[in-house]
């Protein structure tokens, strides 16, 4: 009879130790939480607003197979090619400064499917580059594919909303 309380106590101590370690180590394992980001807003507008990049896109490790327009406007980000293919709408983007570079992240969801795209990139001196992860959840498995993008600042503004 004395053994049960000792086992329960040992399990409780182990769970406490693991949960404490997780709370301490989780930020270090994820660089988004490990560093403090600077505010994305300056004078009430997002700092990448008004920028449009003409970008090459391709599967990670393979050559480009698509040209895209990446648009930052009104605190929102959209890939015009993804918008055209599946109706991915503009989504909020978040930034942080790393030296002279500006890193951004944005996540958008396809309205007709259980699919999301998470964009992670760096804007530096009129160029953009990064990766995005496309994830499609199915009832029997989840498909995840990674793509790269790289481009330059475009001369003309592209409207963020589709003209239909």
Q: What is the pLDDT of residues 7-62, one digit of tens each?
A: 656 666 655 554 554 444 444 444 444 344 444 444 445 789 999 999 999 999 99
Residue 90: closest CA among 72, 105, 103: 72
CATH of 41-153, one of 2.50.20, 2.40.50, 2.40.128, 1.10.3470: 2.40.128
pLDDT of residue 156: 64
The reported pTM is 0.69
Confirm if 104 and 92 have CB atoms less than 8 A apart: no
Q: What H or E segment, with its residue span, contains residue 130?
A: strand 127-137
The structural domains of the chain, with segments of one domain joined by +, span: 3-34, 41-153
Q: Tell me the two tokens of residue 145.
A: 């594919």
Q: How far is CA 36 from CA 27, 28, 97, 98, in A?
A: 11, 12, 10, 10
pLDDT of residue 129: 97
The 3-state DSSP class for residue 51 equals coil
Mean pLDDT on 106-121: 94
Confirm if 90 and 76 have CB atoms less than 8 A apart: yes
């Amino acid at each position: 009879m004395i053994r049960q309380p000792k086992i329960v106590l040992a399990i409780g101590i182990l769970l406490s130790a693991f949960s404490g370690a997780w709370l301490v180590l989780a930020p270090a394992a994820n660089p988004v939480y490990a560093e403090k980001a600077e505010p994305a807003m300056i004078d009430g507008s997002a700092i990448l607003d008004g920028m449009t990049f003409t970008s090459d896109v391709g599967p990670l490790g393979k050559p480009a197979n698509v040209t895209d327009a990446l648009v930052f406007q009104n605190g929102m980000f959209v890939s015009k090619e993804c918008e055209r293919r599946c109706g991915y709408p503009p989504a909020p983007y978040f930034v942080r400064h790393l030296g002279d570079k500006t890193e951004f992240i944005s996540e958008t969801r396809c309205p007709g499917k259980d699919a999301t795209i998470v964009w992670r990139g760096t804007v530096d001196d009129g160029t953009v580059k990064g990766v995005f992860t496309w994830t499609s959840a199915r009832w029997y498995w989840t498909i995840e594919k990674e793509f790269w993008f790289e481009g330059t600042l475009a001369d003309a503004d592209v409207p963020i909303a589709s003209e239909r």
